[in-house]
Structure 1
Amino acid sequence: MKVTTGARLKQIMSERNLKQVDILNLAEKYFKDGVKISKTDLSQYVNGKTEPRQEKLYILAEALDVSEAWLMGYDIDRERISIDERLREVRENAPTYAAHHDGEDWTEEELEEIERFKEFIKNKRNK
C-alpha cells in the first residue's frame, strides 16, 4: 500500500526534528515563477487534506533532498538522484543493455524504466 505525502512529510519532520516553518524556510530558495508553498498549503499536505501539485512537490523534494517519488509515497529509495547522475548510470550500464538487446531500440523512457526495475530488484534482494 502506498504511503501518503503527509505521512512522508511527518516522517521527515520527526527524523530531522523539523517543524513546518523549518520546511518552509528550506523551501523558500526554490520558489520561482510565482510558485510558492504557503503555511496553509504545507499544513494541508502534512495533515493529508490535500496532495501537492507537481511543481510544489518538486519544491518540497528539493528542499528536503529526497526523491519526488519517495515523497509521493512510493516504496523506493528516498535518495534524490540528479539527471546527470542518472545519465551517467545509463551510460555505464549501456553494455549491459546491449548484451540483453533483442533487436529493438530502447527509448530514453524505456531505459529509465529498466533502471527503476533494476533498482526494485536490488532493493527486494537486500530486504
Structure 2
Amino acid sequence: MSNLGNKEIMSANIKRLMKRKNVTRTQMADDLSLKYTTLTDWINGKTYPRIDNIEKMATYFKVSKSDLVESYDPHPVEPVDLDKALSEEGMAMFDGKPLSEEYKKALLAMLRANKNSGE
C-alpha cells in the first residue's frame, strides 16, 4: 500500500519542515497566501492540499514534493563508494589490522561480482 495521499504523513512532514524553518502557521500562511484555517487543516491532518499547494510548500521549504507526501526516514541509507572507503587510511581493517592491497582488490572484486549477479 502506498503512503502517497496520506493526510497524517503530510501533516507530520509539514510540522517537521515548519520546525526546521522555524516558521509559525501565521507566517507560513501569509508567506504562501493561504488561509490560516486551510493550513491548520493540513497540519491537523483534517484535509489534504491540492498538488499546486504541495508544489508551493515544496518550493517554500526548498525540498522535493516527495519530502512532503512520503514517510520521512530520519536515517536514510547513504551509498558507499567502496573504492574510496577501501583506499582511506584505517577504513579497511580486519581483526584490528589493515588489509593488504592484494586483499583489498580481491574484496572489491568479490563485492562487485555479488552486486552484478543480483545477490
The aligned residue for residue 120 of structure 1 is none
The aligned residue for residue 66 of structure 1 is 63
Runs (5+) with no aligned partner, structure 2: 81-119
The aligned residue for residue 49 of structure 1 is 46
In structure 2, do the counterparts of structure 1 residues 54 and 76 end up closer, same or farther at CA, with 3 Å as the change threshold? farther
**Deviation string for 1:26-68 (max 9, x for gaps)?**
323xxxxxxxx31111000001111111111111111221111
The CA distance in 2 between the partners of 1:76 and 1:56, in whole Å, is: 23
Query: What is the TM-score with the length of structure 1 in the denominator?
Result: 0.48
Deviation at 1:69, TM superposition (A): 0.8
CA RMSD of aligned residues (A): 2.8
For 1:64, give the aligned amino acid.
F
**Deviation string for 1:102-124 (max 9, x for gaps)?**
xxxxxxxxxxxxxxxxxxxxx53
For 1:66, give the aligned amino acid.
V
The aligned residue for residue 94 of structure 2 is none
Deviation at 1:125, TM superposition (A): 4.2
Larger gyration radius, structure 1 or structure 2: 2
For 1:124, give the aligned amino acid.
V
Query: What is the TM-score with the length of structure 2 in the denominator?
Result: 0.51
* Number of residues of Structure 1 aligned to a counterpart in Structure 2: 74
Task: Please say if residues 23 and 64 of structure 1, whose CA atoms lie closer than 8 Å, have aligned partners that are also in contact.
Answer: no
- Specify which structure has the higher proportion of helix: 1
Runs (5+) with no aligned partner, structure 1: 29-36, 78-122
In structure 2, do the counterparts of structure 1 residues 76 and 26 end up closer, same or farther at CA, with 3 Å as the change threshold? farther
Task: Please say if residues 41 and 47 of structure 2, whose CA atoms lie closer than 8 Å, have aligned partners that are also in contact.
Answer: yes
Picking from 7, 25, 34, the partner of 2:30 is 25
Relative to structure 2, which stretch is displaced further, 49-58 or 1-10? 1-10
Deviation at 1:13, TM superposition (A): 1.8
The aligned residue for residue 10 of structure 1 is 15
Residue 124 (structure 1) aligned with residue 77 (structure 2)? yes
For 2:40, give the aligned amino acid.
S
